[in-house]
Amino acid sequence: MDNIKCIICLGENPITLENPLTKEHIIPEFMGGAKYISRVCKCCNEWMSRDFEVAVSKFDFYEIARYTHQINGKRKLVKHPFTGSYEDDTYGKFRINEKGEIIVIPEIEIKLKNKNLSLVGSIDQSDEKVLIEQVLLKLERDKEICEKFGLEALPSLAERLINTSDTKYESHYNPKVSKSSVFDIDAHIKLYTKIAFETAFDYFGDIYLDDPVAVKIRKSLQSGDFEKLKNLSAIAGLDPILDDAFDSTYHWVVLLKNICYIKIFNISWEGIFSEMQLFEKGHAGIVYKYCYKSKKYEKLNLSEHYRNMALHQMKINKK
Ligand SMILES: [Zn+2]
């Protein structure tokens, strides 16, 4: 146990009862990743999840993907990506709950003019039954009204107010909401670099940690400073050959020669993960295929993956 070191800090944070080795998910749980390695200490795990994962998990892109595929992660309920409070000229204030239902927040205004009360407001159709409660509450809070009519008279007053013809309130169904989103490429590069590093470690073991590129990546993961890695990785444009070979119904992490190719929800990234020739001669590469629905993963040789694809293609052509 003594000589087992965390692969991120290499023992800078010693393994103790307070800082044990943890389950470090290679692809974060919020993306549907289920495979983990057990060689990252608690300190480093918490730091990486705070610095690389949380930022990315908040992007609408993943909120929408998670909601569409119902990927639970640590949270039990995947909330609707548009959950929140909004304001609109036509509908007034409304909110969208975690199930994606739109609820118009009742806005009720009661005006007292001479002896006449008038009611103006906006309310959701499904909330009409609570209208009477809302109106009564408003009346009770209005000092002038309370003095003028007396507390006992308020319930019948509320009812009368809702039923009289001068009363005007509107009810609405389903306002439309649109959102604009930001996509932070730097945050993605950090996260995908971490995935590449941990996958290479998972496959090659401790020998990978001595690779000069692995050393650079490890230091960046430890410090959060990715300046020195700038030339090594990028969110890839559409590489038609790779994109055809790895469809978006799975997540893919592929190590081929010294390149790592990652594709998660159709966003692809490519980076150099090693300098040494780690694969034996003639070995095409390795494919980690993650099913984000079943939370299972398979490890395949690249040549095996291509063979499966060719067989699959032949089956399609026969139909
Ligand atoms: Zn560590």
At 167-217, the pLDDT tens digits run 555 655 555 666 666 777 888 889 999 999 999 999 999 999 999 999 999
| Among 172, 200, 222, residue at a domain's last position | 172
| Among 172, 195, 225, residue at a domain's last position | 172
Q: How many Å lie between the centroid of ligand 1 and the Cα of residue 187?
A: 21
> Do residues 113 and 213 share a domain?
no
Q: How many Å lie between the centroid of ligand 1 and the Cα of residue 75?
A: 25
Whether 227 is in a domain gets the answer yes
> Do residues 95 and 139 share a domain?
yes
Could you give the 3-state DSSP secondary structure of residue 190?
A: helix
| Alpha helices for the chain (secondary structure H) | 42-48, 54-57, 60-69, 128-141, 143-149, 154-163, 185-204, 212-223, 240-245, 302-318
List the one residue out of 45, 43, 48, 7 whose CA is nearest residue 24: 45
> Do residues 37 and 94 share a domain?
no
Q: How many Å lie between the centroid of ligand 1 and the Cα of residue 130?
A: 55
Q: How many Å lie between the centroid of ligand 1 and the Cα of residue 24?
A: 11
Q: How many Å lie between the centroid of ligand 1 and the Cα of residue 6?
A: 5
Whether 4 is in a domain gets the answer no
Q: How many Å lie between the centroid of ligand 1 and the Cα of residue 34?
A: 21
Whether 105 is in a domain gets the answer yes
> Do residues 198 and 66 share a domain?
yes
Dihedral sign, CA of 300, 303, 304, 307? positive
Rounded CA Rg of the chain: 29
Q: How many Å lie between the centroid of ligand 1 and the Cα of residue 42?
A: 7
* CA 273/CA 296 separation, integer angstroms: 24
pTM of the model as a whole: 0.74
Instruction: Supply the pLDDT for residue 1.
Output: 46
Instruction: Supply the pLDDT for residue 235.
Output: 72
Q: How many Å lie between the centroid of ligand 1 and the Cα of residue 220?
A: 13
> Do residues 55 and 192 share a domain?
yes
Whether 80 is in a domain gets the answer no
Phi then psi dihedrals of residue 52, to 5 deg: -105, -35
- Count structural domains, the chain: 2
> Do residues 56 and 101 share a domain?
no
Whether 56 is in a domain gets the answer yes
Instruction: Supply the pLDDT for residue 124.
Output: 62
Q: What is the DSSP letter of 10?
A: T
> Do residues 296 and 217 share a domain?
yes
Q: What is the DSSP letter of 214?
A: H
* CA 110/CA 63 separation, integer angstroms: 40
Q: How many Å lie between the centroid of ligand 1 and the Cα of residue 10?
A: 6
Q: What is the pLDDT along the chain (319 residues), one digit of tens a residue?
A: 446 899 999 999 999 999 999 999 999 988 888 899 999 999 999 999 988 888 888 888 888 888 888 787 665 667 787 788 887 776 677 778 877 777 777 777 777 776 777 777 766 656 666 777 878 888 888 888 888 888 888 888 888 877 764 555 565 555 566 666 677 788 888 999 999 999 999 999 999 999 999 999 999 999 999 888 887 777 766 567 777 888 888 999 999 989 999 999 888 889 999 998 899 988 889 999 999 888 899 999 999 998 888 877 777 677 6
Burial of 196 (0-12, 13-18, 19+ CB in 10 A): buried
Whether 46 is in a domain gets the answer yes
Could you give the 3-state DSSP secondary structure of residue 297?
A: strand
- Domain of 213 in residue numbering reads as 21-74+183-312
CB-based contact 82:99 (threshold 8 Å): no
| Among 172, 197, 229, residue at a domain's last position | 172
CB-based contact 83:63 (threshold 8 Å): no
Whether 192 is in a domain gets the answer yes
Q: How many Å lie between the centroid of ligand 1 and the Cα of residue 8?
A: 5
* CA 211/CA 200 separation, integer angstroms: 11
Whether 115 is in a domain gets the answer yes
> Do residues 62 and 94 share a domain?
no
Q: Around Cβ 290, how many Cβ atoms within 10 Å?
A: 22
For the chain, give the mean pLDDT.
83
> Do residues 139 and 56 share a domain?
no
* CA 163/CA 157 separation, integer angstroms: 10
Burial of 116 (0-12, 13-18, 19+ CB in 10 A): exposed
* CA 142/CA 255 separation, integer angstroms: 70
> Do residues 166 and 191 share a domain?
no
Does residue 50 come out as left (phi exceeding 0), alpha (psi in the -120 to 50 range) or beta? alpha
> Do residues 301 and 189 share a domain?
yes
> Do residues 303 and 241 share a domain?
yes
Q: How many Å lie between the centroid of ligand 1 and the Cα of residue 22?
A: 10
Instruction: Supply the pLDDT for residue 54.
Output: 86
Instruction: Supply the pLDDT for residue 75.
Output: 59
